[in-house]
Amino acid sequence: MIDKIPFGATGHNSTRTLFGGAALKACSQGEADRVLELLLEHGVNHIDTAPGYGDSELRIGPWMDAHRGKFFLATKTRERTYQKAKEQIHQSLERLRVDHVDLLQLHNLVDPPEWHNAFRPGGALEAVVEAREQGLTRFIGVTGHGTAAPRVHKESLERFAFDSVLLPYNFAMMQNPQYRADFEALLSLCQQRNVAVQTIKSIARAPWGTKEPTRDTWYEPLEHQASIDNAVHWALSRPGVFLNTVGDNRLLPMVLDAASRFQAGPSAGQMEGDLASLEITPLFM
């Protein structure tokens, strides 16, 4: 089973490995239900999805009929205005077949114009706060991709008391001195304020580039258990950090298996060896 720790100040003990609902974006309900059994087998008790993940919310909805109490449920809105965000929030609740979610996140809020639009009067943040006041969500978070994510998340936390952040975190990205400094500054602030830190792209190998994609991920992932073990264990070796699973259901069992066996992180030498031998490169420059 995968260890559980407090998810920030929410009062919920979440498994350190959270299920990334993007894995359900284009699968049948039967395949989705097999994923549910795998999550229950490993004790995963936290689901992170979004309306932008294809059919993910629709596939999770039937699970909630019987298993709502077993999961901390998170979704997102990619909209930046009050009205459109409000409409999307209600649509997500309908698709998920629930009367509330536990966490509602502003999705990929990194681009400066979008950031200002979301925070301004009449912006998406007003809709998310209203949803919390109406009992449609218990907590509010913010997510982001790219090298600017930790810096912008820090600015977001200075504007609003978010309960969680989500951003990329892997060995390759942390070799970027600026990203590493920004990540450490964000992590320090989150620890001070007891804000949950969720990470993504733990098993990313490289952009697909000119290669034909062979996995249900927008990046080329690691594919062998040993390298997945090292990547997952390296991420989990950072105390208090949560790891979101991969968007390919064929790799999901390997990620969960690695997480269930976590005891300690690999050495820097092991990670540098993987970086060189597997030609791992950052997704974001």
Read off the pLDDT of each residue in 258-282 and give the average, rounded to a whole number. Answer: 95
Q: What is the pLDDT of residue 191?
A: 97
pLDDT of residue 285: 74
Q: At 253, is the pLDDT very low, low, confident or very high (cuts 50, 70, 90)? A: very high
User: In this structure, what DSSP letter does residue 98 have?
Assistant: -
Residue at token pair 């951003």? 167
Query: Where in the chain are the domains?
Result: 4-277
Average pLDDT (125-146) is 98
Distance, in Å, from the CA atom of 228 to the CA atom of 222, rounded to the nearest integer, reads 6
Average pLDDT, the chain: 96
Each residue of 10-20: pLDDT tens digit? 999 999 999 99
Distance, C-alpha 258 to centroid of its chain: 17
Torsion angle (degrees, nearest 10) of CA 201, 202, 206, 208: -50
**Nearest one of 141, 139, 92, 95 to 118, comparing CA atoms:** 141
What is the model's pLDDT at position 144?
97
Q: Where are the alpha helices (DSSP H) in 110-176?
A: 112-119, 124-133, 149-159
Contact 169, 204 (CB under 8 A): no
The percent of residues above 90 in pLDDT, for the chain, comes to 94
Residue given tokens 């964000």 in the structure block = 186
Predicted confidence (pLDDT) per residue in 21-44, tens digit: 999 999 999 999 999 999 999 999
Tell me which fold the domain 4-277 belongs to: TIM Barrel (3.20.20)
Q: Could you tell me if 168 and 150 are in contact, meaning their C-beta atoms sit under 8 angstroms apart?
A: no
* pLDDT tens digit sequence for 35-82: 999 999 999 999 999 999 999 999 999 999 999 999 999 999 999 999
Amino acid 1: pLDDT: 83
What is this structure's pTM? 0.96
CA dist., res. 241 & res. 53, Å (int): 23
pLDDT of residue 283: 87
